Structure 1
Amino acid sequence: MPSILADDIDILAKAKRALAGDYVPSENEDYMSEPQLDYFRRLLQAWKRAILDSSADTLQHLQEGPIREPDLNDRASSETDWGIELRTRDRQRKLIAKIDSAVRRIEEGEYGYCEVTGEPIGLGRLIARPIATMTVEAQQAHERREKVSRDD
């Protein structure tokens, strides 16, 4: 039974470490210059690769056979762990679609700009969350609207 390791939780950090020593975008350059776009493209591709590698490990463990714990409590614990693992993989599957969308936006020249306001998202936000599609302000407004509609 695979366990969710702290290292597996932040796969983006793994992707960033894979690019360590390479170029890192700076505020001193033109926003979304070719080197910056190339950095984010490589980061997104490394992130996706790390997710797929992790998913392959889960698939391999699933194919090893069913949980056969003789003790009912151990079996329940193992099944809970598997449920958590599978939910994590489902979230990562959805994340891959967002990564692919971000790569497409790079290719179309839309990456790094808010889909709501058209303003630059900012390097700090993109480094922290390369799949961001909105500025912090636009995201907060979106979440407030979402909360209000959910409360109604």
Structure 2
Amino acid sequence: MPPSPISERKLLQMPASDYMNERQLAFFRLDLRAETQAEIESGRRAIATAELAAADELDRATAEEENRQRLRFTERKYLLLRKIHRALEKIEDGSYGYCEISGDPIGLQRLLLRPTAELSFEEKARQEELERNYTKRRG
């Protein structure tokens, strides 16, 4: 029998020793995939049905820009969908909620903000600092 649903508040009140137990994993297993796939399909339909044969150049340019924005939105959703699939695989193999680099817990608050997070806050900050330093040296 699957564990009963848990609220975000109760999730955060659980002791550290309960980190990534069945109830917490069930909370993160929520089907974000279906919502994201629906958004992708909606974007694809909007792009396919967009009318670019407008009366004047300004209307046509506006329609083309709207189409570019829809395409960019849809591409971002595809990337998110890949991350969601990876997160669901990690839930199944037991590695969800742990940093890919250090192996430390990512933390419930970070996972609530970004359920597809793969790095702990510390590792992500270290990675961003390295990127900033690299950009400064190149610039």
For the aligned pair, the TM-score class normalised by the smaller chain equals 0.7 to 0.9
1:27 to 3, 8, 13: 13
1:61 to 46, 55, 79: 46
2:111 to 126, 129, 134: 126
Partner Cα separation in structure 2 for residue 123 and residue 100 of structure 1: 19
Partner Cα separation in structure 2 for residue 38 and residue 111 of structure 1: 11
Q: Report the identity percentage.
A: 32
2:29 to 41, 51, 55: 41
How far residue 38 of structure 1 moved from its aligned partner, in angstroms, is: 0.9
- The structure number with the bigger radius of gyration is 2
Structure 2 segments unaligned to the other structure (5+ residues) = none
Across the aligned residues of Structure 1 and Structure 2, the Cα RMSD in angstroms comes to: 1.5
Partner Cα separation in structure 2 for residue 117 and residue 32 of structure 1: 17
1:104 to 89, 93, 97: 89
Partner Cα separation in structure 1 for residue 48 and residue 129 of structure 2: 43
How far residue 101 of structure 1 moved from its aligned partner, in angstroms, is: 0.5
Show CA shifts across 1:90-117 (max 9, x none): 1110111111001111111100111111
2:100 alignment partner in structure 1: 115
How far residue 144 of structure 1 moved from its aligned partner, in angstroms, is: 1.1
Query: Does the Cα contact within 8 Å between 1:27 and 1:123 map onto a contact in 2?
Result: no
How far residue 65 of structure 1 moved from its aligned partner, in angstroms, is: 5.4
2:62 to 62, 77, 82: 77
How many equivalent pairs are there? 128
Q: Which runs of 4+ in 1 moved over 4 A?
A: none
Partner Cα separation in structure 2 for residue 113 and residue 84 of structure 1: 34
Partner Cα separation in structure 1 for residue 47 and residue 104 of structure 2: 45
Partner Cα separation in structure 2 for residue 126 and residue 34 of structure 1: 15
Query: Does the Cα contact within 8 Å between 2:47 and 2:71 map onto a contact in 1?
Result: no
TM-score, normalised to structure 1, is 0.77
TM-score, normalised to structure 2, is 0.84
Aligned residue for 1:121, secondary structure, equals coil
